[in-house]
Amino acid sequence: MTLFTLSAGAVIAFFMQGNFSYATIQQFVILCIGFTAIASGLYVLNDINDADFDRKNPFKNSRPIASGRVNKKEAFVLCLFLISTGLFLTLQISYLHLILGFILIALQIVYSTPPIRLKESKFDFLFCGPLNHMVRFSAAWALFKPFAEIPRILMLGLFLIYTAAYINYKLLDNGFIPKQSIAKKPYVFKVLNLSAITGLFLFSISCLIGEIPYFLIICPMFLGLISALHIIVPKQTKIKTMRKITYFYTPHILMLGMIALWSLVLVF
């Protein structure tokens, strides 16, 4: 999802007459590599912190650290290498991007690392994805357009859409998460649906008022269709079906989405 969100920020900046040149495209490639390295290092850190929990989860107990194939010391060395490489690459772009890289690291630390570990709080769904993706979108946008011109209504809409997506992700592990998590609350589906609908509405408003190109309204229409299909899935099979979609189909959908985004750039 890192590359998808970075691509979204870059492509939308392109359609807003961003400064696309050989130099900025080169910086975008460096940003993709750097942020992917940071994200990979942070995933390793998350698996180190969650190893004891993952061993009890049948969907995660085969991960390298949880299964014992990789020990925590080796994993931590890899984590430091990946994060250091990512930060070094972001520094080649600008101090702003270096700071955004550190923000990603800070969000992951407060999310999964004791003693704070917000993963075990009722705000877990915010720190496991939505805020991180807003940082990534902003980093890509800032390569091509002034940071102050970032589309704020769109950003709020995307934040809520990502929030809905990560609440759904939490529901998949409902049996293996702390009781404080929102996925354990009786109102979880109300929050999920409200976040999704409000996010799609704000995305559409952003298009209609000209904050971003109007033809991008096809995006919330497509996401709305996916949400509608999710709602009509029979309740007794919903979690099983969404787990299959999340773990198998989502990576393919995001890859196709990223290709579609850059195809728009080539067409226009």
Condensed to tens digits (0 to 9), the pLDDT of residues 11-49 reads: 889 888 878 888 999 999 999 999 999 999 999 999 999
Long-range Cβ pairs for the range 10-13 (8 Å, 24+): 10/140, 10/141, 10/143, 10/144, 11/261, 11/262, 11/264, 11/265, 12/141, 12/151, 12/154, 12/212, 12/213, 12/216, 13/140, 13/141, 13/143, 13/144, 13/145
Q: For 19-136, which CATH class? A: mainly alpha
Contact 3, 37 (CB under 8 A): no
Would you say residue 236 has pLDDT above 50?
no
Residues shown for the chain: 268
Would you say residue 109 has pLDDT above 70?
yes
Condensed to tens digits (0 to 9), the pLDDT of residues 189-233 reads: 788 888 888 988 999 899 899 898 887 777 766 666 555 555 544
Contact 120, 179 (CB under 8 A): no
Residue given tokens 């704000």 in the structure block = 202
What's the CA gap between 15 and 198, in Å, rounded?
24
What's the CA gap between 145 and 154, in Å, rounded?
15
Condensed to tens digits (0 to 9), the pLDDT of residues 113-132 reads: 888 888 877 777 777 688 99
Backbone dihedral region for residue 21 (phi beyond 0: left; psi -120 to 50: alpha; all else: beta): beta
